[in-house]
Amino acid sequence: MAVDASRHVTWMGLEVTDAARYARYRAGMKPLLEAFGGCFEHDFAVARVLKSSASPRINRVFALSFPDSPSRARFFRDARYLRIRAEHFAPAVASSEELSAPESAPRRPPAPPTVGSLGALS
């Protein structure tokens, strides 16, 4: 399933150092995330980082999406989320890096080229 291009998607990379505590963070924040219209579009456990301008110790990468930018902002400012984050995320994650973030308007994939628009081959 592809990421819905009308949603605001942020790719994150983390260095999780306490998997059990991080799992409690995810379980605790998921109902709140969903209440704000958010979800995890993709979620990967990373065995080895080949190249990164962020932390070379990233071991978790995921795409977090919201229906719009205001929903995303409200979620991350919510006092309930901040309590869950302080209790479970902060002690479980050594570093976090925003790998990409939505622009002011939702990104839409470019239209595929048509045969006529490709021009003559050299």
- Where exactly are the structural domains of the chain? 8-100
Residues 89-121: tens digit of each pLDDT: 999 999 999 888 666 444 444 445 555 544 554
Residues 56-84: tens digit of each pLDDT: 688 999 999 999 999 999 999 999 999 99
Query: pTM, whole model, 2 decimals?
Result: 0.74
What is the C-alpha to C-alpha distance for residues 93 and 88, in angstroms, rounded to an integer? 9
Q: Are 7 and 66 in contact (CB under 8 A)?
A: yes
Could you tell me the two tokens for 81?
């989320």
pLDDT at 21 over 60: yes
Among all chains, which residue has been given the structure tokens 């790998």?
Answer: 99
* CATH fit for domain 8-100, picks 3.30.70.100, 3.40.640.10, 3.40.50.720, 2.60.40.3880: 3.30.70.100
What is the C-alpha to C-alpha distance for residues 103 and 69, in angstroms, rounded to an integer? 9
Residue 98: which region, alpha, beta or left (left: phi > 0; alpha: psi -120 to 50)?
Answer: beta
Quick one: which H or E segment has residue 98? strand 93-100
pLDDT at 3 over 60: no
